[in-house]
Amino acid sequence: MTITRFAPSPTGLLHVGNIRTALHNFLLAKAAGGRFLLRIDDTDAERSKEEYVDAIRKDLAWLGLTVDGEERQSQRLTVYEEAFEKLKASGRVYRCYETSQELELRRKVLLGRGLPPIYDRAALNLTEADHAAKEAEGIAPHWRFLIDRDQEIAWDDGIRGPVRFEGDRLSDPVIRRADGSWLYMLPSAVDDIAMGVTDVLRGEDHVSNTAVQVQMFTALGATPPRFAHEALLTGSEGKLSKRLGSMGVEHFREQGLEPMAINSLLARIGTSQPIVAEPSMEALAAGFDLATFGRAPARFDEAELLRLNAQIVHGMDYAQVAGLLPEGMDEAAWLAVRPNLEKASEAHEWWQVIAGDVTRPDMPDDDRAFIAMAADAAEAMAWDDAAWKTLTQNLKDATGRKGKALFLPLRQALTGMDHGPDMNTLLPLIGKNRAVARLRAAA
């Protein structure tokens, strides 16, 4: 069974890049009939907040990303300790004491010589007496994972194809801080093993991390999962702007956007598939295929999102939106205004046009005379679903007006606007008494 996971750190709200990662892992699992797991990476006790854990769950639920299981790293510290002891016993971790300033100086020296800026493993030359001296001074070690630099690291990436790293080009990563807290690398590998994760889909900025973790899985006696690294998300201007980085689910909710519009866009950008508004997660999952992903940056365009949102709204029936509509707005009114909506929330504005007060238009004298005639005609005629057709035909016959000269002044007087839903459906909803009153006010 395919098992994927989304592993956010609860140190802030999810942004659009996080959402895309979660969505792709969800779709990868569902396309194969598998499971999608949530792992809360909350080992950073100082920065992790419970309010962000709750927000992550709420956001995933709103988007329709149903979770099949959840783990929290803060509840698994003993498991990491056991894995760490196993690596220590096999000589795959070692103690180091350099400060960040010392490491930065060494990096600059290596770069100046045209060499890769990787850790020089100076700590491996320390004797037990050296370690005892550090301990006596009250200096605690941090720990690095020892990469096998004689081994080429290779995997068949689900998006990038064959990937190879030379072990001697990689730096031994710090996996544990001097205060005993964990960095990302080891707990993530341990959890992927324990949770049975079969596929890890993440951004291409993690490729070098994957090379290290492949060796970690092997050192822990496990087979690495399948990896795929997708191109990073950028804005329409070609880079990940601060604005895009701050966009999250709450922003989209406040904008009145539909979850499936967001999902439809994020599922397809960066792929060779057409970007269309899909009605359900099942439809998105059915077409999800890593083989369609390209290497070029995936561009997020807000205008495209609004276009998709309008398509979603235009396909929504009354039952889907009834709880969001203003009091008194029935199915007939929803169907009348729906083609003119970009967001479902805009129905409130059109209900005001139907049932509320409208702005009286400023008209030239000849149009006001025409509207006064229209008021008399509207009051005298029978009122039914063909009211607009009857009214305009009567006025055309009486005045000779046609086209824009006939229709625009009437729309302005009846709705206070120059554009909007089809007047054939709108006028019966406005009703005879309100229509006549508006015409007389405009005249």
Residue 17 counted as domain residue: no
Q: Say if 418 falls within a structural domain.
A: yes
* CATH at 407: 1.10.10.350
Domain count, the chain: 2
Range list of H helices, 315-356: 318-321, 331-337, 347-355
Written as one string, the DSSP assignment of 379-432 is HHS--STTHHHHHHHHHHHHH---THHHHHHHHHHHHSSSS-S-HHHHHHHH-H
What does the pLDDT read at residue 247?
A: 83
**Residue 148 maps to a domain:** no
Q: Report mean pLDDT in 10-residue bins for the chain, 443 residues.
A: 97 92 98 98 92 97 97 96 97 96 93 91 96 96 96 96 94 96 96 98 95 97 97 74 70 94 96 95 96 92 94 95 94 95 95 93 93 96 95 95 95 94 95 96 93
**Contact (CB, 8 A) for 35 and 1:** yes
Residue finishing a domain among 330, 354, 378: 354
pLDDT at 234: 86
User: Which of 329, 354, 379 finishes a domain?
Assistant: 354
Amino acid 348: pLDDT: 95
Contact predicate 421/340, CB 8 Å:
yes
Q: Residue 277: how many CA atoms within 13 Å on its side-chain side?
A: 18
What residue ranges in 167-224 does DSSP mark as E strands?
174-176, 199-203
* Co-location of 406 and 385 in the same domain: yes
In 198-280, where does DSSP find H-type helix? 207-219, 242-246, 249-254, 259-268
Whether residue 338 sits in one domain with residue 363: no
Please check whether residues 397 and 429 belong to one and the same domain: yes
Element (H, E) at 179: none
What's the CA gap between 231 and 216, in Å, rounded?
24
What per-residue confidence (pLDDT) applies to 229?
97
**In whole angstroms, what is the distance from residue 393 CA to residue 387 CA?**
10
Give domain status of residue 181, yes or no: no
Q: Which of 326, 354, 382 is the endpoint of a domain?
A: 354
Backbone angles phi, psi at 95, to 5 degrees: -85, 140
Are 343 and 378 in the same domain? no
For residue 282, being part of any structural domain is answered with no
pTM, rounded to two decimals:
0.89
Separation CA 210–CA 402 (nearest Å):
70
DSSP labels, 54-87:
HHHHHHHHHHT---S-EEEGGG-HHHHHHHHHHH
| Backbone region of residue 221 per phi and psi (left: phi > 0; alpha: psi in -120 to 50; beta: other values) | left
- What amino acid is encoded at 323 in this protein? G
Which of helix, strand or coil describes residue 31?
helix
Taken in order 22, 307, 281, 230, the sign of the CA dihedral is negative
Residues 347 and 372 in one domain: no
Write the DSSP symbol of residue 235: E
SS3 call for 255: coil
Q: How far apart are CA 37 and CA 51, in angstroms?
A: 20
391 and 340 together in one domain: no
**Whole-number Cα distances in Å, 88 to 24, 112, 138, 144, 323:** 36, 34, 22, 10, 59
334 in a structural domain: yes
Cα–chain center distance at 163? 28
Domain shared by 370 and 322, yes or no: no
Residue 128 within a domain: no
Whether 343 and 365 map to the same domain: the answer is no
Query: To which residue do tokens 């009939």 refer?
Result: 33
With beta carbons less than 8 A apart as the criterion, state whether 142 and 176 touch: yes
- Asked if 373 and 339 sit in the same domain, the reply is no
- On whether both 404 and 343 belong to a single domain, the answer is no
362 and 438 both lie in a single domain:
yes
Asked if the structure places residue 411 within a domain, the reply is yes
End-to-end CA distance of the chain: 72
Question: What confidence score (pLDDT) does residue 423 get?
Answer: 96
- Tokens representing residue 370 in the block: 């025409």
Are 349 and 379 members of one domain? no
Domain that holds residue 322: 318-354
